[in-house]
Amino acid sequence: MRNKMKFTMIIILLILFTYPLMGQVGVEKTAQTAMKFLSVPVGARGAGMGDAFTAVCEGAEAMFWNPAGMARINKWDISGGYNQWIADIKHWYFDAVYNAELIGVFGINVMYVDYGVFYGTIRSETDPSGYIDLGEFKPVALAAGVAYSRQVSDRFSFGVNLKYIRQDFGDAYVGEVDDYDTVGNEYNTFAFDFGVLYYTGIKDLRIGVSAQHISQELEYIENEYPLPYIIKIGLAMDLLKAFGMENSFHSLTLAIDASHPRDFTERVHFGLEYWLYDMIALRAGYKLNYDEDNISLGVGLREKRTGIKVDYSYNPFGNLNEVHRVSLGVGF
């Protein structure tokens, strides 16, 4: 057991020391990352808990949070969902995992983003209106990945997610006024996520660590931008078990995540999840060091016999649009 604990701590320390190597020493990177859509939380359950999900996530959705959590399934887990994001931006996702037992757990995941329709113009000194109408363009983004996870023991699991990422802003126009040209405005890259999950043996206290969006910098026009690399450390525990009040009727999990994003200062997330008869869930969360996105609420339903699960989350996004997420899944 001591060897397992030492092995876990070594992996955690390796991840913690990965971050300084990803950036340039002495260069401030705040708000200068590419493919920012990767930072938007995926799935209604985790979002309802204020994104404090690193040590809680399980099944197929874990690929978007901490791929180590996908190891804790029976045989299959499939889910999909929709996110009505701010500024009429729409996100869809689909994921599926399969437990091959001794070999490990394998998964696939896809996320698609629709930014809506935009209208392009360019300034003109000769046109009477002062501009030239360039017509409509429609930015989109895609991330598709394959993942692998393995439960090394009843307490420890790890996972990795390799993904292809593409973003297309539509046509870009370059050149002098009244003498412009159209260029392709899309770019793509590969990145990977890595995570570990460890149950300490103290009640059901668990620790999750994940590093996401690890990749080389992208070249865009004449500049280079990194992906929104982030490292997260999460703790989670059933409070009823902690105080000796556990029973088969309900559970109350408290989760805390500390995150270190590449394009912002450190943030802390708090989440609560209450289950009644393991069928009905109520969730709430709060985030520190955000301008608009602070409070989140959510509900969930689970039918044990069929394995069907439905989740919904709501975020009153400050002065911006309200954010609604819906997820549907099945596990067996």
Query: HEC states along 237-298?
Result: EEHHHHCCCCCCCEEEEEEEEEEEECCCCCEEEEEEEEEECCCEEEEEEEEECCCCCCEEEE
Query: Which one of 8-12, 79-83, 183-187, 214-218 scores highest in mean pLDDT?
Result: 79-83
The model's pLDDT over 114-156, given as tens digits with 9 standing for 90+, comes to: 998 888 777 777 777 777 777 788 889 999 999 999 999 989 9
Q: What does the domain layout of the chain look like in residue ranges?
A: 2-331
pLDDT at 62 exceeding the cut of 90: yes
Per-residue pLDDT at 105: 97
Confidence of residue 173 (pLDDT cuts 50, 70, 90): low
Name the CATH topology of 2-331: Porin (2.40.160)
Q: Give the pairing of strands 90-99 and 323-331.
A: unpaired
pLDDT category, 310, cuts 50, 70, 90? very high
pLDDT of res. 10: 52
pLDDT in tens, 31-58: 578 899 999 999 999 999 999 999 999 9
| Class of residue 84 by CB neighbours under 10 A (exposed 0-12, middle 13-18, buried 19+) | middle
SS (H, E, C) 43-107: CHHHHHCCCCCCCCCCCHHHHHCCHHHHHCCCCEEEEEEEEECHHHCEEEEEEEEEECHHHCEEE
Q: Is the pLDDT of residue 67 over 90?
A: yes
Count of CB atoms within 10 A of residue 5's CB? 14
pLDDT of residue 305: 87
More reliable by pLDDT, 104 or 4: 104
How many whole angstroms separate alpha carbon 251 and alpha carbon 248? 8
Is the pLDDT reported for residue 231 higher than 90? yes
Task: Please tell me the predicted confidence (pLDDT) of residue 31.
Answer: 58
Residue 282: per-residue pLDDT:
98
* pLDDT at residue 268 tops 90: yes
Q: What percent of the chain has pLDDT over 70?
A: 86
Q: Specify the 3-state DSSP secondary structure of 5.
A: helix
Q: What is the pTM of this model?
A: 0.85
Show the tokens assigned to 25: 């020493």
